[in-house]
């Protein structure tokens, strides 16, 4: 019988889990911060955090996955561990035969380029969907942050009349534009993950951009490292 295992990545706004059940199958879930979950279920095999961790007292330091354990070459010490996992995972899953670009559409939209021989090769960073909406709401008198995302923004009005819809469309167009520009400058295989990936994927495909959508790319990479 396989031993149950659990991995956790503490992100900027969500917690990301990987659980291996007794049948040996890994399952991936994403949640709001849940410190109470650290006291239930299987003990953590490994954990990592993208920044300072509030609930450090509940986490064993000897189970923390550090940046130097990610088998990505030429990694600078300031790189976020989530970017390292996404970049290395995209390169690994693509067959390790050429350069790739990992796009993680989370709290921050990160584009991370990895060379054909598995070296970190820079990238771009931008505020993600929710951060951009929050910035508009906080930086203006008239705008408020929309409560819900547009259900089908790419098939709605191209130039929405509703303010909330216009904010969503504008932000998604700005994020899409970064990805399209990166592909124009460097048309390497594109790997897309992150909570906002489903909102960007249809528009990328409509524009003829080939993309591998890997929703659990970062956690799959974490599992591969600790396994």
Catalytic residue set = 82
What are the φ and ψ backbone dihedral angles of 108, each rounded to 5 degrees? Answer: -115, 135
Rounded to an integer, what distance in angstroms lies between the CA atom of residue 80 and that of residue 102?
Answer: 13
Between CA 193 and CA 7 the distance in angstroms is 18
186, 113 Cβ separation under 8 angstroms: yes
**Residue 114 per-residue DSSP state:** E
How far, in Å, CA of 83 to CA of 78, rounded? 11
Q: Which helix (H) or strand (E) holds 9?
A: strand 5-10
d(CA 169, CA 163): 10
């Amino acid at each position: 019988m396989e031993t149950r295992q659990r991995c956790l990545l503490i992100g900027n706004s969500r917690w990301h889990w990987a659980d291996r059940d007794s049948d040996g199958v890994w399952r991936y879930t994403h949640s709001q911060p849940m410190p109470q979950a650290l006291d239930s279920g299987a003990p953590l095999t490994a954990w990592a955090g993208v920044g300072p961790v509030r609930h450090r007292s509940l986490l064993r330091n000897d189970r923390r996955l550090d940046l130097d354990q990610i088998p990505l070459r030429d990694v600078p010490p300031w790189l976020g561990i989530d970017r390292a996992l996404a970049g290395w995972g995209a390169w690994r899953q693509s067959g390790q035969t050429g350069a790739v670009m990992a796009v993680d559409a989370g709290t921050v939209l990160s584009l991370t380029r990895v060379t054909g021989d598995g070296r970190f090769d820079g990238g771009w960073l931008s505020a993600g969907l929710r951060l951009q909406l929050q910035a508009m709401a906080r930086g203006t008198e008239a705008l408020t942050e929309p409560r819900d995302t547009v259900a089908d923004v790419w098939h709605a009005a191209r130039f929405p009349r509703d303010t909330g819809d216009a904010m969503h469309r504008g932000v998604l167009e700005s994020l899409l534009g970064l990805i399209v520009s990166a592909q124009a400058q460097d048309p390497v295989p594109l790997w897309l993950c992150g909570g906002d990936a489903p909102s960007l994927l249809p528009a990328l495909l409509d524009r003829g951009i080939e993309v591998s959508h890997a929703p659990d790319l970062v956690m799959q990479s974490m599992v591969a490292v600790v396994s």
